[in-house]
Structure 1
Amino acid sequence: MSRSLLSHLLAIPNSSPRITTSALSLSYQTNPGSILKRNPQCAFRCCSSVVNSQPEALSSTPPVKKRVVSGVQPTGALHLGNYLGAIRNWISLQDTYETLFFIVDLHAITLPYEALQLSKATRDTAAIYLACGIDISKASVFVQSHVRAHLELMWLLSSSTPIGWLNRMIQFKEKSRNAGDDNVGVALLTYPVLMAADILLYQSDFVPVGDDQKQHLELTRQLAERVNNMYGGRKWKKLGGRGGSIFKIPEPLIPPTGARVMSLTDGLSKVIANKIKRCKTDSFTGLEFDNPDRPECNNLLCIYQLVSGKTKEEVVLECQGMSWGSFKPLITDALVAHLQPIQMRYEEIMSEPSYLDGVLSEGAAKATGIADATLNNVYQAMGFLRQ
Structure 2
Amino acid sequence: MTTVSGITPSGRLTLGNHLGALRRFADDPEGFYFVADLHAMTMPHDGSRLRELTRETAMLMLAAGVRPGRVFLQSEVPAHAQLAYLLECTASVGELSRMIQFKEKSARTGDRSVRASLFTYPCLMAADILLYGARTVPVGGDQDQHVELTRDLAVRFNREHGEVFVVPELHRAALAARVADLADPTRKMSKSAPDAAMGVVRMLDTPEVVRRKVMRAVTDTDGTVRHDPVAKPGVSNLLELLAACTGGEPAALAAGYTSYGALKADVADAVVASLEPVQQRYAALVADPAAVREALDLGACRARDRAEPRLAAAMAAVGLGHVA
* TM-score in terms of structure 2 length: 0.89
Q: Distance in 1 between matches of 2:2 and 2:74?
A: 17
| 1:143 counterpart residue number | 73
| 1:354 counterpart residue number | 290
Residue 256 of structure 1, CA deviation = 2.0
Residue 160 of structure 1, CA deviation = 1.8
User: Contact between 2:38 and 2:75, CA under 8 Å: does it hold in 1?
Assistant: yes
| 1:277 counterpart residue number | 215
Return 262-271 or 219-228, whichever deviates more. 262-271
Q: Distance in 2 between matches of 1:338 and 1:99?
A: 23
Q: Distance in 1 between matches of 2:254 and 2:107?
A: 44
Q: Identify the match of residue 119 of structure 1 among 48, 51, 72.
A: 51
The answer as to 2:180 corresponding to 1:260 is yes
Q: Distance in 1 between matches of 2:41 and 2:299?
A: 22
Q: Distance in 2 between matches of 1:122 and 1:248?
A: 29
Residue 153 of structure 1, CA deviation = 0.5
User: Contact between 1:77 and 1:263, CA under 8 Å: does it hold in 2?
Assistant: no
Residue 312 of structure 1, CA deviation = 4.0
Q: Identify the match of residue 25 of structure 2 among 78, 90, 95.
A: 90
| 2:39 counterpart residue number | 107
| 1:158 counterpart residue number | 88
Q: Distance in 2 between matches of 1:144 and 1:263?
A: 26
User: Contact between 1:169 and 1:215, CA under 8 Å: does it hold in 2?
Assistant: yes
Among the aligned pairs, what percent are the same residue?
39
Please state whether the residue corresponding to 2:5 is helix, strand or coil. Answer: strand
**TM-aligned CA distance change 1:308 to 1:165, over 3 Å:** same
Please state whether the residue corresponding to 1:318 is helix, strand or coil. Answer: coil
Please state whether the residue corresponding to 2:3 is helix, strand or coil. Answer: strand
Residue 338 of structure 1, CA deviation = 2.0
Q: What is the number of equivalent residue pairs in this alignment?
A: 303
| 1:295 counterpart residue number | 233
**Which one has more relative contact order, counting CA pairs under 8 Å at least 6 apart?**
1
Q: Distance in 2 between matches of 1:353 and 1:266?
A: 18
Q: Distance in 2 between matches of 1:193 and 1:157?
A: 6
Please state whether the residue corresponding to 1:161 is helix, strand or coil. Answer: coil
Residue 267 of structure 1, CA deviation = 3.3
Please state whether the residue corresponding to 1:386 is helix, strand or coil. Answer: coil
Q: Distance in 1 between matches of 2:44 and 2:56?
A: 20
| 2:144 counterpart residue number | 214
**TM-aligned CA distance change 1:314 to 1:170, over 3 Å:** closer
Code of the aligned partner of 1:377: A
Q: Identify the match of residue 205 of structure 1 among 111, 135, 157.
A: 135
Code of the aligned partner of 1:246: V
Please state whether the residue corresponding to 1:264 is helix, strand or coil. Answer: coil
Residue 327 of structure 1, CA deviation = 2.1
Code of the aligned partner of 2:33: F
Q: 1:119-148: CA deviations, max 9, x gaps?
A: 121111111011112133xx5110000000
User: Contact between 2:242 and 2:250, CA under 8 Å: does it hold in 1?
Assistant: no
The answer as to 2:100 corresponding to 1:170 is yes
For structure 2, which runs of at least 5 residues remain unmatched after alignment? 182-199
**TM-aligned CA distance change 1:313 to 1:328, over 3 Å:** closer
| 1:318 counterpart residue number | 256
Please state whether the residue corresponding to 2:28 is helix, strand or coil. Answer: helix
**TM-aligned CA distance change 1:130 to 1:166, over 3 Å:** same
User: Contact between 2:139 and 2:171, CA under 8 Å: does it hold in 1?
Assistant: yes
**TM-aligned CA distance change 1:252 to 1:267, over 3 Å:** closer
Q: Distance in 2 between matches of 1:88 and 1:385?
A: 40
Q: Distance in 2 between matches of 1:291 and 1:148?
A: 43
Q: Distance in 2 between matches of 1:193 and 1:332?
A: 40
Q: Identify the match of residue 366 of structure 1 among 298, 302, 311.
A: 302
| 1:338 counterpart residue number | 274
Code of the aligned partner of 2:297: S
The answer as to 2:186 corresponding to 1:248 is no
**TM-aligned CA distance change 1:281 to 1:313, over 3 Å:** closer
Q: Distance in 1 between matches of 2:207 and 2:170?
A: 38
Q: Distance in 2 between matches of 1:77 and 1:152?
A: 28
Q: Distance in 2 between matches of 1:336 and 1:366?
A: 34
User: Contact between 1:260 and 1:299, CA under 8 Å: does it hold in 2?
Assistant: yes
User: What is the RMSD computed on CA atoms of the aligned residues?
Assistant: 1.7
Q: Distance in 2 between matches of 1:182 and 1:371?
A: 35
Q: 1:144-166: CA deviations, max 9, x gaps?
A: 00000000101111112211111
Residue 91 of structure 1, CA deviation = 2.4
| 2:5 counterpart residue number | 70
Residue 311 of structure 1, CA deviation = 4.1
Q: Distance in 2 between matches of 1:103 and 1:210?
A: 16
Q: 1:337-360: CA deviations, max 9, x gaps?
A: 221121111000111000000000
User: Contact between 1:85 and 1:256, CA under 8 Å: does it hold in 2?
Assistant: no
Q: 1:67-104: CA deviations, max 9, x gaps?
A: 1111111121211111111112222233xxx2111000
Please state whether the residue corresponding to 2:51 is helix, strand or coil. Answer: helix
| 2:63 counterpart residue number | 131
